[in-house]
Structures are given as structure tokens and as C-alpha cells.
Homo-oligomer: A and B are copies of this chain.
């Protein structure tokens, strides 16, 4: 009872693989669409569940887009890192933020805060999308 006994299903694998094949962050809806187009008759609810599981197991990173959508991305490096995300095409670049890490700790300590966590993500338009938007 303490161990709920996880089972391995092709659906879970399909989601894991689809995530791995994608470079940027994807919404659950989009991933579901991709899987359906790829032939898998997987259910939407199942995609949500699989993604939630992956996120819990630290196999995927999740963040909220400015639109309030939940986006997911395969996360190989278990280390702490941040992202630079194209808000148009979803291209994602992992970025280091040593300075920001330190800054966050300092600011928190300065105000007597402990157990500081931080949310640091940069959204923008990547070079390609900038060109398209400019025309």
C-alpha cells in the first residue's frame, strides 16, 4: 500500500518519447495532437496524467506560459537551470544563471526570508521569428 505499484504502458512511453523528440516546451494539448497525428489513439486525459507523472519524477520540466498554459519539456540534466524561450515557435535554450542564483539568495536573506526558491524564465522572440515578424 505504501508502494502503489506503477505499471508500464505504451502510452506512458509514447509521451516520454514525444517529449524527448521535441526541442522546446510543449503544451499538453499540443503533445496530444502530435501523438494523435502520429497514429497513437492516446487519450487527452492520459497525456495530462503522463506529463504530471514525468514532472513529479523530475524527468520533465514544467512552467507556465504567459497565457496561463502549462508547458512541458524533457529534462535530462537534473541540475538546476533556467530557460530562454521563444514565445512564438517555442524554441528553448537552457541558460545558466549563477549570478541570479546568488542574487536571489542575497535578496531573500536581506529581508529575513529563508528557504528561498525562485522562478526565473526569459521569454522573447528568437532570431528566426523576429525576422518573420518584421518582414
Please give the residue numbers on chain A whose beta carbons come within 8 Å of chain B beta carbons, in ascending order: 64, 66, 68, 70, 84, 86-87, 93, 95, 97, 99-100, 103-104, 107-108, 111-127, 130
Contacts and interface: CB of A to CB of B under 8 A. Distances in A.
A107, A125, A127 interface centre (most CB from chain B within 10 Å): A107
A108 B84 contact: yes
A124 B99 contact: no
Nearest to A93: B111
B112 A126 contact: yes
Given A64-B64, A70-B68, A118 B115 contact: no
B124 A115 contact: yes
Contacts of A113: 84, 86, 122, 124-127, 130
